[in-house]
Amino acid sequence: MFDTRISRRAALMGAGAVAAWMHNPARAMLWQAAALPVPAFIDALIAKMTLAEKAGQLTLMPSAWGGGVATALNPASNGPNFDGQLEEVRQGRLTGVFNGNGAEMARRMQTAAMTQSRLKIPLIFAADVIHGHRTIFPVPVGEAASFEPGLAERTARMAAYEAAASGIDWTFAPMVDIARDQRWGRTMEGAGEDVLLGRLIADARVRGFQGKDLKDNDAVLACAKHFAAYGAAEAGLDYNTVDISERTLREIYLPPFKAAVDAGVLSFMASFNEISGVPSTGNSWLMETVLRGEWGFKGFVVSDYTGDMEMIDHGFAADAREAAKLAFLAGVDMSMTSGFYRDHLPDLVEKGEVPVARLDASVRTVLAMKARLGLFEDPFRRIDLKREKARSRTKPALALAREAGRKSIVMIKNDGDLLPLPKSGKKIALIGPFASGSDSLNGPWVVYGDNAQAIDLATGVKAAVADRSLITVVQGSTVEAPLPGGIEAAVAAAREADIVVLAIGESEGMSGEAQSRAEIIVPEPQQALAEAVAAVGKPVVIVLKNGRALALKGAVVNAPSILVTWFLGSESGHAIADILFGDYSPSGRLPCSFPRSLGQQPYSYAHKPTGRPNPSETQLEPYKAHYRGIPNSALFPFGHGLTYGKFEYSDLSVAPTLAWDGELTVSAKVTNTGKRAAEELVQLYTHDRAASVTRPVRELKAFRKVTLAPGASEVVTFKIRRDLLLFIGRENKPTVEPGLFDVWVSPSAETQGVRGSFELKGA
Ligand code: NOJ
């Protein structure tokens, strides 16, 4: 696998061998094909640059402004203070900074670059604008639960509109890593476990961030990260080793990146992990053969934070100089944080170990990108203090946050139609560490948003009900430790109430980067609170806060109603109240399966059948694939989510054969047999019964939302053509084979809905 165009050994060869490698005609063509259109002045500028200035253009640093906002989400860096950083700008030793705070910082730095540096090359300002800038939208995994790529595009657009007014040219988003192990804390930052959903959301978010034209003062350069397979870390441990086949890489982990390229993304971030022994930061197969060669990517690749330096700890590079050389020759154009390129590229070029043409190619791409962002025409186009204020947390942005919030919520259980709750006449006890207060409203990966400005649950609930005096709020427990007297107070409040709303789950510090969890449960003190409150006997609605799928148990899973609310951002409380009191029928679906037990991880609905599948969900047969005592299915599978309607699936129609170049129509009737209008997410899955490479038990191929009044029906139609049935074959190339396929139109990945089959006829 991974026939590296340049191996570690080759990268460490002497200058002559490297030059020969560079002059390989096929390789030269690769670089030409991958080039961005470059305005003529850029080559003239490069001709004037010293090696140190060239290396400076490939050096990105965390901003030193404000004493370390930039490193709050990353390990501390030993860089200079802000004045020192300004001096580096004057000397042309920086291409830009990231996660600085606002237009004032950008104005001061850009002024230094444009008035006091020798070549007056504008700086680029980057930031982790992951799910909103000042207005915070749901965490990406929550937003993916909307199954509405159009919504993801609109929130990314709004985030770009706000961020681009505060001096930000470039966001380190979208993260498009597929996550199939819920221990991995960064599940919250992607679109979940499914390839199709991952592709659609990647496409939408890139287009949202980048807008119509990167020169516009409301557009930011997007960055697809982390390339690649960062989410496949062994045991869900962040930064851990990845060892997967090329087929798995191409079929599961790469497609969202390809979708980002097709959507026009112009920057990529290399991932921290190794894949089968080669750290991504030093993997030329990934960045040259696949990204630039096969996909024709024309932008630049940045390392992750100290990614080049970390190749020393991986045991792949002997020292800083070698790490810089390996990363650079593998195709990482820009180094983030380590300073290794600045410190070593000039010498590597002087000694002939890195061809100057190769250095110039990366500098050219970075400068061309600055031109594409309009920075040479007007270095201050995104730096405007008045505009920064005017665009911050506008009414339309907050309305969008509320819309996105309620569309992200997934109702996974609603026994006896406990929800929606009445707005009057009932006493409600709002219990739990997330019942009120500003803790964990925005969620992880927020650099610029402020939890104190977000709406908490108590505020949202009180605004929705007719009589606020019927609402009692009790904390009951802290997130990870019992609160003295907390359970007693909660039990007393539950006794007094007609209904309990229990807001429990993970805090924002428990997911995100470096927050892998060995147990994916509601923390024990909160579980104890749930058990005590349930024992009172009042109906309980669980409002779960979470950045990943959790293994729910005891009183939590046994509660009649459960809402999965992730971290919803600025309008959290309003959005949850919209659902609780029926102003909006839940429409979200799980983008990641909730397992029965931690032991099932990693888990995806799209697993392989094995040679001994257990034939029934309800009966566990000996010598079949399941754990002791539990079926190997999810408790709440991918695609699952209830509404305030009730939907029945019937009348599947599918033609028996699909001609090789033909099209087949699959349709099913969906009826709302419930008492309320609601939106149903109708999902199309297929399974290839026998192929030259084994296929998953089901794969999502399409989905459609339909809104139906009580009693109404709609025939939902999907088209299937051969290309929808492609898979990565024996030769690691996309292929499709004739044969029998099962097809489902269903409300989730593990329910039957209606099922049929068809045969794809050979050519
Ligand atoms: C490390 C993270 O992996 C990456 O996603 C982020 O963009 C950088 N830090 C910068 O904050």
Which of 388, 416, 436 is the last residue before a domain boundary? 388
Specify the ligand 1 atom closest to the Cα of 173: 7
Strands 59-62 and 96-98: parallel
Closest CA to 666 of 747, 720, 722, 741: 720
Instruction: Tell me how far the alpha carbon of residue 303 lies from the centroid of ligand 1, in angstroms.
Output: 9
Instruction: Tell me how far the alpha carbon of residue 359 lies from the centroid of ligand 1, in angstroms.
Output: 24
As for ligand 1, residues whose beta carbon falls within 6 Å of it are 73-74, 99, 128, 172, 225, 304-305, 513
Residue-level pLDDT at 4: 44
The span from the CA of 259 to the CA of 377, in Å, is 30
Residue-level pLDDT at 112: 98
Specify the ligand 1 atom closest to the Cα of 70: 11
Q: Which of 60, 63, 73, 168 to mutate to test the pocket of ligand 1 (most atoms within 8 A of CB)?
A: 73
Band (67; pLDDT cuts 50, 70, 90): low
DSSP 141-193: HHHHTTT-HHHHHHHHHHHHHHHTTBT--EE---B------TTSGGGGGS--S
The span from the CA of 618 to the CA of 169, in Å, is 54
Q: What is the pLDDT of residues 593-622, one digit of tens each?
A: 999 999 999 999 999 999 999 988 789 999
Which of 333, 364, 388 is the last residue before a domain boundary? 388
Amino acid making up residue 8: R
Band (3; pLDDT cuts 50, 70, 90): very low
Residue-level pLDDT at 32: 44
Question: Do residues 373 and 426 both lie within one domain?
Answer: no
Residue 240 DSSP symbol: -
Question: Do residues 376 and 429 both lie within one domain?
Answer: no
Closest CA to 580 of 627, 614, 540, 620: 540
- Is position 637 within any domain? no
- Is position 611 within any domain? no
Question: Do residues 377 and 408 both lie within one domain?
Answer: no
Domain holding 443, by residue range, is 404-600
Residue 21 confidence (pLDDT) above 50: no
Average pLDDT over residues 709-718: 98
| Nearest Cα residue to atom 8 of ligand 1 | 305
566: domain CATH number is: 3.40.50.1700
Q: How many other C-beta atoms lie within 10 A of the C-beta of residue 380?
A: 16
Q: Return the active site residues.
A: 304
| Nearest Cα residue to atom 1 of ligand 1 | 305
Average pLDDT over residues 691-718: 98
DSSP 705-725: EEEE-TT-EEEEEEEEEGGGG
Task: State the residue for tokens 């899973």.
Answer: 557
Q: Which of 69, 71, 74 to mutate to test the pocket of ligand 1 (most atoms within 8 A of CB)?
A: 74
In DSSP terms, which residues pair with 335 in a beta bridge? 59
The span from the CA of 440 to the CA of 433, in Å, is 10
Q: What is the pLDDT of residues 731-748, one digit of tens each?
A: 999 999 999 999 999 999
Residue 275 DSSP symbol: E
User: Sheet of 300-302: strands edge to edge?
Assistant: 224-227, 267-270, 300-302
697: domain CATH number is: 2.60.40.10
Residue-level pLDDT at 23: 45
- Tell me if 182 sits within 8 A of 550, measured CB to CB: yes
The span from the CA of 337 to the CA of 63, in Å, is 10
Residue 493 confidence (pLDDT) above 70: yes
Question: Do residues 206 and 352 both lie within one domain?
Answer: yes
- Is position 378 within any domain? yes
Q: What is the pLDDT of residues 416-443, one digit of tens each?
A: 999 999 999 999 999 999 999 999 999 9
Average pLDDT over residues 148-163: 98
Instruction: Tell me how far the alpha carbon of residue 575 lies from the centroid of ligand 1, in angstroms.
Output: 29
Specify the ligand 1 atom closest to the Cα of 128: 7
Question: Do residues 444 and 512 both lie within one domain?
Answer: yes
Residue-level pLDDT at 79: 87
Residue-level pLDDT at 7: 52
- Tell me if 281 sits within 8 A of 311, measured CB to CB: yes
- Is position 639 within any domain? no
Tokens of 600: 């099932």
Q: What is the pLDDT of residues 371-403, one digit of tens each?
A: 999 999 999 999 999 999 999 999 999 999 999
- Tell me if 419 sits within 8 A of 413, measured CB to CB: no
Question: Do residues 436 and 366 both lie within one domain?
Answer: no
Tokens of 434: 């997330």
Residue 690 confidence (pLDDT) above 80: yes
Closest CA to 342 of 360, 315, 361, 320: 320
Question: Do residues 520 and 659 both lie within one domain?
Answer: no
Instruction: Tell me how far the alpha carbon of residue 175 lies from the centroid of ligand 1, in angstroms.
Output: 10
Instruction: Tell me how far the alpha carbon of residue 305 lies from the centroid of ligand 1, in angstroms.
Output: 6
Instruction: Tell me how far the alpha carbon of residue 518 lies from the centroid of ligand 1, in angstroms.
Output: 22
Cβ partners under 8 Å of residue 748, min gap 6: 589, 590, 637, 638, 639, 640, 641, 683
- Tell me if 687 sits within 8 A of 757, measured CB to CB: no
Straight-line distance from the first to the last Cα atom of the chain, in angstroms, rounded to the nearest whole number? 31
Specify the ligand 1 atom closest to the Cα of 226: 5
Q: How many domains does the chain have?
A: 3
Q: What is the pLDDT of residues 70-79, one digit of tens each?
A: 677 888 888 8
- Is position 610 within any domain? no
Tokens of 322: 């070698």
Closest CA to 506 of 523, 525, 518: 523
DSSP 394-418: -HHHHHHHHHHHHHH-EEEEEGGG-
The tally of CA atoms less than 13 A away on the side-chain side of residue 90 is 10
Instruction: Tell me how far the alpha carbon of residue 189 lies from the centroid of ligand 1, in angstroms.
Output: 11
Residue-level pLDDT at 66: 75
The span from the CA of 384 to the CA of 167, in Å, is 7
Cis check for the bond before 62: say yes or no (omega within 30 of 0). no
| Nearest Cα residue to atom 3 of ligand 1 | 304
- Is position 614 within any domain? no
- Is position 268 within any domain? yes
Which of 581, 600, 619 is the last residue before a domain boundary? 600
Closest CA to 614 of 697, 692, 736: 697
Instruction: Tell me how far the alpha carbon of residue 310 lies from the centroid of ligand 1, in angstroms.
Output: 14
| Nearest Cα residue to atom 10 of ligand 1 | 305
Q: How far from the centroid of its chain's Cα atoms is residue 277's Cα?
A: 25
- Is position 161 within any domain? yes
| Nearest Cα residue to atom 9 of ligand 1 | 305
More confidently predicted of 229 and 21: 229
What is the SS3 assignment for 635-694? CECCCCCECCCCEEEEEEEECCEECCCCEEEEEEEEEECCCCCEEEEEEEEEEECCCCCC
153: domain CATH number is: 3.20.20.300
Q: Which of 71, 223, 337, 513 to mutate to test the pocket of ligand 1 (most atoms within 8 A of CB)?
A: 513
Question: Do residues 582 and 672 both lie within one domain?
Answer: no
Question: Do residues 713 and 744 both lie within one domain?
Answer: yes
Secondary structure (3-state) at 261: helix
Secondary structure (3-state) at 75: coil
Specify the ligand 1 atom closest to the Cα of 230: 3
Q: At what angle do helices 255-262 and 195-210 cross, to 10 degrees?
A: 30
The span from the CA of 470 to the CA of 490, in Å, is 15
Q: Which range among 231-240, 269-278, 537-546, 609-618 shows the weakest confidence by mean pLDDT?
A: 609-618
How much of the chain, in percent, has pLDDT values that exceed 70?
Answer: 95
Question: Do residues 119 and 200 both lie within one domain?
Answer: yes
Tokens of 307: 């990614």
Tokens of 724: 């929808």
Q: How far from the centroid of its chain's Cα atoms is residue 639's Cα?
A: 17
| Residue 708 dihedral angles phi and psi, to the nearest 5° | -130, 135
Strands 754-760 and 713-721: unpaired
Band (330; pLDDT cuts 50, 70, 90): very high
The span from the CA of 295 to the CA of 273, in Å, is 22
Question: Do residues 330 and 439 both lie within one domain?
Answer: no
User: Sheet of 428-431: strands edge to edge?
Assistant: 410-414, 561-564, 540-545, 499-505, 428-431, 471-474
Task: State the residue for tokens 């707005």.
Answer: 423
Q: Which of 130, 221, 267, 269 to mutate to test the pocket of ligand 1 (most atoms within 8 A of CB)?
A: 269
- The rounded mean pLDDT for the chain is 95
Question: Do residues 29 and 142 both lie within one domain?
Answer: yes
Alpha-helix residue ranges (DSSP H) falling in 170-306: 195-210, 246-248, 255-262, 284
The tally of CA atoms less than 13 A away on the side-chain side of residue 334 is 31
More confidently predicted of 73 and 508: 508
| Nearest Cα residue to atom 4 of ligand 1 | 304
Angle at 129 between CA 125 and CA 134, to 5 degrees: 105
Residue-level pLDDT at 101: 82
Instruction: Tell me how far the alpha carbon of residue 332 lies from the centroid of ligand 1, in angstroms.
Output: 15
